[in-house]
Amino acid sequence: MRARSAMAVAALTALVLTLPVTTASAAPATPRALTVGPGQATAPGAFVPIGLTRALDTRSHQENPAGAARKLQPGESFDVPLSAWQNHPPRELPVVPADATAVVVNVTATNTTAAGYLTVRRDGAVPGAPVTSTLDFEAGETVSNMITVAVDPRGANSSPQINVYNNAGTTDVVVDILGYYAPSTPQRPGHKYDPVRPTRLADTRVEGGRLGRGGVVTADVARRDLGTADATAVVLNVTAVDPSTEGFVVAHPSSWPLPAEGSHLNYGPGRTVANQVVVPVGPEGTIEFFNTGSTDLVVDIVGYYGPSGHNLYSAVTEQARLLDTRPGAGAWAFSTLEFPVAGRAGVPDNATAVTLNVTATEPQADGHLAVFAADEAGRPGTSNLNFNAGRTVANGVAAQLGGNPGSVAVHHHSAGSTQVIADLTGWFVQG
């Protein structure tokens, strides 16, 4: 694998989001709920974290299964083997095993030539354009998002694969593997998941001060008070707030070196950016966030994997739309809407949490969304998705279910209305 160039990655990565981190209360809005998709899912699996491992970079012939540097074309459906690439001698090194059921990846679109979207999915052989999207982009911008997706075991060279669909224009695509779900074995023990109440772990605006180039924030993620003392991996929402330069953030266990390439969070001047990440936890129980530009940094925890976890994960084989406020007024200013999840799109009644891809579109003003269990006592002081007026953005979300039936609440913190979309990618059940 190629060594990462800081300048190259900084040029690759820039997202356009904003994050006001305060919240407000208002009367609930009434959502329009719907379901699309057959509701089929993979067998429940445990999680195996692997850190950042590059599977695709269309800008490089060395990291492209096509064997040449080339962009995705409009309407193209591109298969991505879940492998790393070695140059000497040239060969594919499988990263995700043949019995894996789902994979967690960070996907980036860059060098885009038209407004459009990418959809990351299991099977590219499904005819027509996908009914859901993973990330949306404008011409000339770079956008990233983390998603969990069922894998297709029929990839070449016995390597499972996923598929990336490009809606419009031409774009380069980068895919980094963060981990996968599979049955546990003595040789490869996976761990189960437990959600935690969304909790802020670090905020440099409150403590520590703004980060400069080479700055590091350390967060204690293995904590008894959160129930995460034995965590082997954690699910975090990481935000760069009001950056003044281009840059990126890499998260890794404190005892591990920086990954050779890849990043978790990418930003540009004046653009607040958030992304959900999954990071392994080392024996010291802390994670370092290495920064290359100038920005404030916010870190929130939403869940963990470990020996004391209780839940296995099933990924849907075809992503399902659970919520779409279009057509209509959308989410009202400073409102909270709820929508049922359990019992819909194949989600079992005993599901404890879900993974979603949440999109804010047609926002009338800057703001953010906070996603949490519907019956949670008090809204958590965290956020999941951040947007600017007139811009469409998406972010992966792991949300605990609450109420009867199990439901999700979305708080909309903005002075204007926003259309909100939530697509189901999978669920957790005790097992």
DSSP assignment of 290-325: EESSSBEEEEEEEEEEETT--EEEEEEEEEEEEEE-
pLDDT at 345: 93
| Ordered per-residue pLDDT tens for the chain, 431 residues | 233 333 333 333 322 232 233 333 333 344 444 444 446 999 999 999 998 999 999 999 888 888 889 999 999 999 999 987 666 555 667 789 989 999 999 999 999 999 999 999 998 888 888 989 999 998 988 888 999 999 998 765 567 999 999 999 999 999 999 999 999 888 888 899 999 999 999 999 999 999 999 999 999 999 999 999 999 999 999 999 999 998 889 999 998 999 888 889 888 888 888 899 999 999 999 999 999 999 999 999 999 999 999 999 999 999 999 999 998 888 999 999 999 999 999 999 999 999 999 999 999 999 999 999 998 878 899 999 989 899 899 999 999 999 988 999 999 999 999 999 999 999 999 99
Please report the pLDDT score of residue 273 as a whole number.
82
Instruction: Using alpha carbons, select from 316, 342, 277, 345 the residue that is nearest to residue 426.
Output: 316
pLDDT at residue 85, as a whole number: 65
Distance of CA 352 to the CA centre of its chain: 19
Side chain identity at residue 353, one-letter code: A
Q: What is the pTM of this model?
A: 0.88
| Cα 321 to Cα 347: distance, rounded to the nearest angstrom | 12
Distance between CA atoms of residues 225 and 176, nearest Å: 32
Show the tokens assigned to 170: 């031409």
- The pLDDT score that the predictor gives to residue 230 is 96
Read off the tokens for 81: 């083997």
Q: Which residues contact 46 (CB under 8 A, 6 or more apart)?
A: 181, 182, 183, 184, 189, 190, 191, 192, 305, 312, 313
Radius of gyration over alpha carbons of the chain, in Å? Answer: 20
The residues facing 371 across adjacent strands are 410
Which pLDDT does position 157 carry in this prediction?
Answer: 58
What pLDDT does residue 185 have? Answer: 84
How many other CB atoms sit within 10 Å of the CB of residue 184?
15
- Pairing, β 367-373 against β 407-414: antiparallel
**Exposure b/e, 362-381, CB count within 10 A at least 16 = b:** bbeebbbbbbbbbeeeebbe
